[in-house]
Amino acid sequence: MTTVIILLCIGLLAGILSGMVGIGGGIVIVPALIYFLGYSQHQAQGTVLFMFLMPIGILGVYNYYQAGHIEIKTALIIACTFVIGSFFGSKISIAMDQTTLKRVFGVIIFLLSLKMIFGK
């Protein structure tokens, strides 16, 4: 049950950030699956590609699926909450001025890059 709650939170946060600043899959969900749920880089990437299956990453998904690197249940849970999060994130973003929005995007990218570079 804890894993499902984490997945719901990941999907919602990624959806909000996608709606706000156009990020989500690779920048938020992949690291979250790795650091919070212990996925390998391959599993996280394959799972996110599955989440975006139609029509964005179908050929990439096929390769990851054949290699056994997709967690279908995980991708479906995150995809459902991502839709809700992107709705609210876009509302927040529309209400923000462009300078603030650029700064939010920059800080998020910077913090995530530090975690990816210096984290375990």
Q: Domain limits of the chain?
A: 2-118
| Model confidence, pTM | 0.69
Residue 5 has pLDDT above 80, yes or no: yes
Residue 120 has pLDDT above 80, yes or no: no
What 3 state SS string does 28-90 have? HHHHHHHHHHCCCHHHHHHHHHHHCHHHHHHHHHHHHHHCCCCCHHHHHHHHHHHHHHHHHHH
Summarised one tens digit per residue, pLDDT across range 53-111 is 766 678 888 899 999 999 999 999 998 998 899 899 889 988 988 889 888 888 988 99
